[in-house]
């Protein structure tokens, strides 16, 4: 599971995660406009609900993340979206830990921001293809999950040898999720570009 629980990471790591999250939250929320609230609420709810769909894989479990989807649709506001979803997941269902909400937000939120940047600047490229939304939505959706898993595995691997095998299992288990979310985000981006392009974030 992508959520790191309490008592696993070195205090410096999860404290650093909180520091980074507070800084990014302050910046991204300063960019929020009142008209962004409805879309932010809907996408946050989607990210929260998606996380409840879990699949067992050996000693761990995996679930959908949708951080790339959040980045493509919300832009900078993908970070507070991920933060709120993680807070709700912990307090309602005890997913992850309270001390690690900050670092968990970094793990999923930073890749979401990178997916947003990839989509934003990818759409400006002159590639000679008509449906760039599908291409860069797919890339954003897949890369965001892959980076979230990479961050998690690196943190687990550096915590101690006893977590190294767990990190490998977690990374392997998320390979199908990476593929599924890449396809999902690409398809949704292509659909929204046709029926309601304002829902895709390109500013």
The per-residue pLDDT for range 164-178, each reduced to its tens digit, is 777 777 778 888 899
Q: What is the pLDDT of residue 143?
A: 96
Q: What is the pLDDT of residue 1?
A: 55
Residues pairing with 57 in the sheet: 60
Q: What is the pLDDT of residue 153?
A: 85
Q: What is the pLDDT of residue 2?
A: 67
Q: What is the pLDDT of residue 161?
A: 65
Q: What is the pLDDT of residue 183?
A: 96
* Architecture label for domain 11-199: Orthogonal Bundle (1.10)
**Is the separation of the CB atoms in 95 and 139 below 8 Å?**
no
Report pTM.
Answer: 0.91
Q: Where are the domains of the chain?
A: 11-199
**Is the separation of the CB atoms in 71 and 89 below 8 Å?**
no
The owner of tokens 């609230």 is 37
Phi then psi for residue 31, to 5 deg, are -90, -5
The owner of tokens 């989509």 is 119
pLDDT profile of the chain (203 residues), mean per 10: 76 92 97 93 93 71 88 96 94 86 95 96 85 94 94 81 72 87 95 86 63
Whole-angstrom distance, CA of residue 33 vs CA of residue 43: 16
């Amino acid at each position: 599971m992508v959520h790191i629980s309490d008592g696993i990471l070195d205090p410096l790591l999860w404290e650093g995660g909180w520091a980074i999250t507070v800084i990014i939250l302050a910046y991204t929320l300063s960019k929020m406009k009142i008209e962004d609230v409805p879309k932010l609420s809907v996408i946050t709810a989607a990210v929260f609900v998606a996380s409840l769909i879990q699949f067992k894989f050996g000693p761990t479990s995996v679930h959908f993340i949708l951080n790339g989807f959040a980045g493509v649709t919300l832009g900078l506001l993908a970070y507070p979206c991920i933060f709120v979803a993680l807070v709700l997941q912990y307090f309602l269902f005890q997913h992850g830990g309270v001390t690690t909400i900050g670092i968990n937000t970094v793990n999923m939120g930073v890749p979401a921001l990178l997916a947003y940047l990839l989509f934003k600047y990818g759409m400006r490229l002159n590639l000679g293809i008509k449906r760039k939304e599908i291409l860069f939505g797919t890339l954003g959706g897949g890369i965001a999950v892959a980076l979230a898993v990479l961050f998690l595995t690196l943190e687990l691997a550096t915590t101690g040898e006893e977590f190294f095998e767990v990190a490998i299992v977690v990374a392997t288990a998320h390979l199908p999720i990476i593929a599924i979310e890449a396809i999902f985000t690409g398809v949704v981006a292509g659909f929204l570009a046709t029926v309601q392009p304002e829902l895709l974030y390109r500013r």
